[in-house]
Amino acid sequence: MTMDVVPDRYEAVIGIEVHCQLRTATKMFCACAAEAEPDEGAPNTRTCPVCLGLPGAMPVINRRAVEHVLATGIAIGATVPPATRWDRKNYFYPDLPKGYQISQYDLPLASNGSLTFDTSHGPRTIRIRRAHLEEDTARLIHATDADGRKVSLIDFDRSGMALMEIVTEPDVRTAEEARRYAEELQRLLRYIGVSDADMERGQMRVEANVSLRPRGREPFGTRVEVKNMNSFRSVERAIEFEIERQSTALDAGETLRQVTRGWDDTRGVTYVMRSKEDSEDYRYFPEPDLPPLRTDPAWLAVIAARIPELPAARRARYVADLGLSPYDAGVLTASREMADFFEAAVAAGAGRPAPVPAKAVANWATGELSRLLNAAAATPRGRIDRCGISPADLAELAGLVDGGEISGTSAKEALAVAFETGETPAAVVSARGMRRISDTAALAAIVDAALGEHPAAVADYRAGKAQAVGFLVGQVMKQTRGQADAALVGAAIRARLDGDEPA
Ligand SMILES: [Zn+2]
């Protein structure tokens, strides 16, 4: 299946819900250590009466988690109410020891924001209805025991971890938009440092509500919730599949049911998981063990001041101020580390005696350096802040190429060596004699030596075979290991042979 399979007669109406684990040292309502990596260490070792839901245990709010949601709200331009409160969402499931989840119902920490991102059809803005804070559930593990019986195990280490839920308005229209929204949201959360948001590790979980309506009609169709998409690619594929499935059913005159469907990545299909509960089923009511939370303007100002320039703003600035293509701007802002590195390199380049254009720095960052980082992705050196190349190194290398002092080929080689060894590219260039030979006296001596060693070629040239120069140029280039300028060498040979002096 390819992109945008929405048939012309239908319009897809898609809303996205994202749960992401917040980067905090401790859990949401207790002092237990939060897992830095999912499922790390022995199970059930990070628990206490609060996150095990024992009677009488009292929750205490994690201030950092609240600040992370407020930072997210500010970053998406949302409204933060002067006060908020906590609610109990009641349901029974083995991964929820209290029989309820502490969440936020009608007073979320942030509401009415938006996120703008690029798509293959141009920029899109999706409204975000709300972002609120809640606690994660325990982890259920379905396994087979030593006697071959199917068993379900519970690891409470995840129980009570701080979780943020971000819900869009039903503004998304295509599977591609859904994927791009999720990618941009991940980038934003990482830039502001509130979550690692790794989908493969379950730190960011994306669900989509998908319905179709005849094009031009206002009322929504029956919506289906799609879960279990654990990569951006899965998000796009699952929604494409669901649009196709629903349009085929509607064409056949079938009535769709409101259900939750799971995505089977291997088979490439969605399947019915359960019929969908309405929110009334949860019997929300205010949490009696926690006081309402006031969001003091001075506190919000401190949080706002910590938010760095966001990816969309950086992309726009790179295009407008540095003259980069939207594509290069996208690559350079894909992570905050890369963007910070690039900007430091541009600053270093601008400060050199012969200022290096930002475009030249961008070419090396998006090209050869990115290639080396990707190739080393599985190692510590695959991180730009640990790769052995500093921003000043990259600027210097770009400057050497830009100034014609070394060839592009030599620069690639120097960068690769520097990447591996931690030497500076400039040191590699000097140690390996990679600088172009621009000294005409030095070049003349090498030309003379080549002419002396190949009298037959010289004789051929004098006999009118002009192409003999090519052979002689090749000999000089070989002698200088490519460090001479071939055009200059050709001119020097012709000048020497066309003069009267015998070679
Ligand atoms: Zn605990």
Ligand 1 center to 167 CA (angstroms): 27
| Stated pTM of the model | 0.84
Burial 40-75 (b: 16+ CB within 10 A, else e): eeebeebbeebbbbeeeeebebbeebbbbbbbbbbb
Ligand 1 center to 56 CA (angstroms): 13
Ligand 1 center to 50 CA (angstroms): 5
Q: pLDDT in tens for each of the 503 residues of the chain? A: 444 555 678 999 999 999 999 999 999 999 999 987 777 789 999 999 999 999 999 999 999 999 999 999 999 999 999 999 999 999 989 999 999 999 999 999 999 999 999 999 889 999 999 999 999 999 999 999 999 999 999 999 999 999 999 999 999 999 999 999 999 999 999 999 999 999 999 999 999 999 999 988 888 889 999 999 999 999 999 999 999 999 999 999 999 988 999 999 999 999 998 876 555 578 899 999 999 999 999 999 999 999 999 999 999 999 999 999 999 999 999 999 999 999 999 999 999 888 999 999 999 999 999 999 999 988 888 888 888 899 999 999 999 888 888 888 889 999 999 998 888 888 888 888 777 776 667 778 888 888 889 999 889 988 888 888 889 888 888 887 777 777 778 888 888 888 755 44
| Beta-carbon count within 10 A of 441 CB | 6
Ligand 1 center to 22 CA (angstroms): 16
Ligand 1 center to 40 CA (angstroms): 16
Ligand 1 center to 85 CA (angstroms): 21
Ligand 1 center to 21 CA (angstroms): 16
Ligand 1 center to 66 CA (angstroms): 17
Ligand 1 center to 359 CA (angstroms): 51
Distance CA 114, CA 92 (A): 33
Tokens of 316: 């726009």
Ligand 1 center to 46 CA (angstroms): 6
**Residues 6 or more apart whose Cβ sits within 8 Å of residue 202:** 21, 38, 230
Ligand 1 center to 201 CA (angstroms): 21
